[in-house]
Structure 1
Amino acid sequence: MKQHHARLVWSEGAPLSESFGDYYCSLADGIAESRYVFIDGNKLTERCKDELASGLTIAETGFGTGSNLLCTLDTLNQLSTSHLHGSHFISTELHPLSYDDLKKALAQQPQFQHYTKQLLEQYPPYIQGMHRFTFDKGRFYLTLCIGDAAASLQRIDSAIDAWYLDGFSPAKNPAMWSQELFSHVARLTKNKGTLATYAAASFVRKGLIEEGFEIKKKPGFGKKRDMLIGTIAKPKTATAPTKLPWFTLPKIKKPSSAIIIGAGLAGCTTAEALARRGIKVQLIDRHDDICQEASGNRQGALYAKLPTKPTLGGELHLCGLEYTLRLLSTYQCLDNRIASQCGVLQLATSEKEALKQNAIASSGDYSSDVVSLKSATEASQIAGTPIAHQALFFPRAGWVQPKAFCEKLTEHPDIKLTLSTSIISLTQTADQRWIVLDHNNQEHTADIVIMASAVHAKEFEQLNHLPIKKIRGQVSISETDDNQDKLKTVICGEGYISPPLNNLYTFGATFDLHDQSPQIREADHKSNLTMISNSASSFASQLPNPNHWSGRVGYRCSTPDYLPIAGPAPVASAYIEQYAKLGDDKNWRFKNTPPELHKGLYLNVGHGSKGLITAPLMAEYLASSICSEPLPIPREISQALHPARFIIKSLIKGKK
């Protein structure tokens, strides 16, 4: 099925699904219906008064216009201004409303304006996968899963307190109300967890009972005779998705303190995600300022290069781009000084690339709000300079000045910067606190440590097994000229060039695995000029002579599979011993016992040249995992990023 937004018609002032012939809410009073069926049906008001220690996790099938979310946030906000901090709302939607339709629908609910504004500011185009929203600086979270409801639930392992089984009428949309969906609902429900639904069809009631729910009828809303409420009693052992024991994530007590080593993009975004959750963070770096290594370039291109067909990596990059945009918006960075959503043109400078772009554009796998194919003439108009190639245009993309972005993120009272400090060792005490020893023989202690120091992570005994390497890259910087074309968008081909910032163009970058020299080289300037010439020859010809350029050398941290490393640090020797049988049989059935990990030690490294779209989402993922919250990425992606994956791959290949 090709992706598309919901197709609506407006009838009696309310949105009606053209595909399913059903209204999104009651014509009598949709807000009253939401409160009666879902909030009262799950007894949330009473439960919130009793459960003062932490927030709730609520899940919904059928996001629709977002009315249930807004109703719930408003209710929780009225119940308490403190103890429900960190409540999560998870929702699925196969055909989300377009931005314009959502804005029109929510305009009819002015009482929720505070949350409506935040929802609309973070709302993505149609991108299949999981999207994490933040409300009120982390007081509430939404994880919107775009895709089939059952398939989306199959990808998560969150423990749910209460369910809103919504969606269109079972008579009009029976495919959603499936036994498979009920099975996942049961699998994910906490002990004593509840559900509520306006649906009262007998097959819905019987299906939920079969999965272990005690189901009762109660009077329905308005003219509807009945609805269903339920409590999990004896959960049926659902056929859970295959779990690979070596990728099990640890459950730890929420820490009160953390040390992050490395104050680049990965370290600063991780510090922000933890501090937002009330954890005191010490951010340590060996340089005298933040973002002095790979994150120190003046401008970085912010966009996701798409695979021809959707892949896990492509999903990670697109959802990561959207998360970074939300973070930039939240911290008011899209000001054309710190960041700009000016769009990105990815040029087809070869026949092979043109064929790939044609396949992407014609596949129907990507929304036109995400990417569209442009002719050379159209690309020239967008760029503001002659372009001789067709291009893919990413209207939501742009550029970011990483250091300025990170300065915004680390302006938090719970983040302490410790600069000009090199860390030489990590040790753990008997009570499992971490001691970090610096070059001045000073000890720093915390409950957990997150390593965000790129290739320097390998310098520590616990992490010397990581197969990471550094790749040298030189960017060039040239002054603008009054007679020169002024670029209006980022241009990417073999390299990239961004619109000018403070009258300077930044472009590049070289890619050198074998030469690690920190010196600025004229040969690399010429190489960058050649790359720009292949993309936009007219513009390149207007640049000053390379002899007048400045530049910067940085080192990307790369992994063998070009995906980041994010998650708990494995004890490599224990993994090799525990899973040695994989060398004989990759399908060996191990006891589902957790692997040995360095408790409280985590990684956020290996972002290569994609850090702007992967590091912030990985930071949110780590913070969610550390605090035992619902994750912002699906299980398969979590496993694909696990720091132990290279150990497991080596064992399967017979290498130890």
Structure 2
Amino acid sequence: MRYKIAIIGGGLAGCAAAWCLSRQGHHVTIFEKGTEIASGASGNERGMINPRFYKFFNKEASFYAAGFKAVLKAAEELSQTHSLDFEQCGALHLITDETKKDRYSEMIKNWGWPEEEMRIVSSEKASEIAGTDIPAEALYLATSAQISPKKLCIAYSEQADIRLNTAIESIEPISDGGWYLDGERFDKAILANAYHIPQLMPEVELQTVRGQMALAKATSCSKTMKCNIHYGGYISAPMNGYHGVGASFQPWSKDVDVKKDDNRYILNKLAEFLPHISESIELEQERASLRTTNKHKFPEFGEVKPGLYVSTAHGSHGLVTSLQAAIEIAKFITTSAKA
């Protein structure tokens, strides 16, 4: 059975769901209140693809690991026909304290990934991998990547009917199944509009975290970088002559204006660990937005009422979790269609 499915929200969560469902033959309509796809937090031009790190390979770690591998596979496939600024350049996560060293060491033991994909390297080896001086040991993830989240959203949503400048005001269940969205009938509906979901479904409790990132033109000092580097902030390997640099985290703020204080914070964090790079770059094309999270600090997804689904609270790992949530939702819908 093929369904007529409405998705509210044109960011990573909604577009990933559209991609998974369109591939299964469903007719998908995305309702986006903004003027373009990925108009919110998913609209950054640069994003890092990493799993979230857990000591033990519990169900949360399993979800992030599966999403990490899934988005790399999807990006590899989509980059054959779309410009995604995708590069699987690897990432170094600097070990800046004993807590991180313990977490990373235990993670390597418990996750069971091959050494060529995940290992701790010395400062000297990290410098060789990075193509620039690294002042500490680091966890090296060889398959980590960078991508344009905005371009990925556009590629994900290519097969969907997209309605921009369209804010859904009401969703109502239909007695014989399905949902009315502002009077239009759909078989299934997915709420993927981030922190706006409570406007349609007040029982979903969400929080926002403001974040700002920027691009920085590669310099003679930084252009030798060969992988992404994380240190409490991040700087990407150069792509199209620019690094992605970030990011601030401000759960108390809902202001999406670009702030000079955030630029200072980002550069100061970079200078703390990579001073030879920070002193030579200047931030530009800054962008601030609100990430969505919840009190559990874990994505919220699945069926909440018959035929009604949510996908939200993807936080700072949305590139990874949005696709894995979409895969799970699509699997549930397909299973119900065969029942």
Normalising by the smaller structure, the TM-score range is over 0.9
Q: Percent identity?
A: 25
TM-score (norm: length of structure 2): 0.93
Name the amino acid aligned to 2:166. T
- Counterpart position of 2:331: 624
Counterpart among 189, 196, 205 of residue 449 in structure 1: 189
- Distance 1:485-1:287 versus aligned 2 partners, 3 A rule: same
The question of whether the paired residues in 1 share the 8 Å contact of 2:229 and 2:235 is answered with yes
Matched residue SS, 1:282: strand
What are the residue-to-residue correspondences of 1:296-335 with 2, within 5 Å? 296-332=43-79
1:495 to 223, 233, 250: 233
Asked if 2 retains the 8 angstrom alpha-carbon contact of 1:337 and 1:501, the reply is no
Aligned with 2:257 (options 499, 509, 519) = 519
* Residue in structure 2 matched with residue 606 of structure 1 by the alignment: 313
Q: Which residue pairs with 1:373 in the alignment?
A: 120
Give CA deviations for 1:258-289 in whole Å, capped at 9, x if unaligned. Answer: 00000101101101111111110111100111
Q: Which amino acid aligns with 2:308?
A: L
Of residues 121, 127, 143 in structure 2, which corresponds to 1:396?
A: 143
Match of 1:154 in 2: none
Distance in 1 between residues matched to 2:175 and 2:82, nearest whole Å: 49
* Alignment partner of 1:430 out of 172, 175, 181: 175
Cα distance 1:629–1:432, how it changes in 2: closer, same or farther (>3 A)? Answer: closer
**Equivalent residue for 1:128?**
none
Paired amino acid for 2:244: T
Return closer, same or farther for 1:324/1:337 CA change in 2, 3 Å cut-off.
closer
Give me the whole-angstrom Cα distance separating, in 1, the residues matched to 2:306 and 2:288.
36
CA contact (8 A) 2:210 2:290 kept: yes
1:336 offset after TM fit, Å? 8.4
TM-score (norm 1): 0.49
Question: Contact 2:227–2:236 at 8 Å: present in 1 too?
Answer: yes
2:301, 2:7 → 1: CA distance?
13
- Give me the whole-angstrom Cα distance separating, in 1, the residues matched to 2:37 and 2:238: 23
Decide whether aligned partners of structure 1 residues 362 and 271 sit closer, same or farther in structure 2, where only a CA change above 3 A counts.
closer
Q: 1:255 to 1:603 in 2, by over 3 A?
A: farther
Structure 2 counterpart of 1:340, which letter? E
| Separation of aligned partners in 2, 1:407 and 1:468 | 26
Structure of greater relative contact order (alpha carbons < 8 Å, 6+ residues apart) = 2
Secondary structure at the residue paired with 1:445?
A: strand
1:556 maps to a residue whose letter is R
Structure 2: 5+ residue stretches without partners = none
Q: What residue is the counterpart of 1:280 in the other structure?
A: 27
Distance of 1:397 and 1:428 partners within structure 2 = 42
User: Residue 176 of structure 2 aligns to which amino acid in structure 1?
Assistant: D
Bigger radius of gyration, 1 or 2? 1
Q: Is the 8 A contact 1:285 1:418 kept in 2?
A: yes
Offset of residue 483 of structure 1: 5.0
Hey, what does 1:558 align to over in structure 2? 293
How big is each residue's C-alpha offset from its partner over 1:449-486, in whole Å with a ceiling of 9 and x where there is no partner?
100001100111xx211121111001122222345443
Q: Is the 8 A contact 1:385 1:485 kept in 2?
A: no
User: Does the aligned pair in 1 maintain the 2:57–2:110 contact within 8 Å?
Assistant: no
Partner secondary structure for residue 307 of structure 2: strand
1:505-544 matches, within 5 Å, as 505-544=243-282
Please give the alpha-carbon distance, in whole angstroms, between the structure 2 residues aligned to 1:357 and 1:611: 21
Paired with 1:533 and 1:623, the residues of 2 have a C-alpha distance of 44
Q: Does 1:464 align with 2:211?
A: no
Q: For the aligned residues, what is the CA RMSD?
A: 2.0
Residue aligned with 2:331, SS: helix
Deviation, structure 1 residue 505: 1.8
Give the superposition deviation at 1:430: 2.7
Structure 1 unaligned blocks of 5 or more: 1-253, 438-442, 570-597, 631-656
Matches within 5 A, 1:160-309: 254=1, 256-309=3-56
With over 3 angstroms needed to count, the CA separation of the structure-2 counterparts of 1:351 and 1:394, relative to structure 1, is same
Contact 2:188 2:307 in 1 (8 A): yes
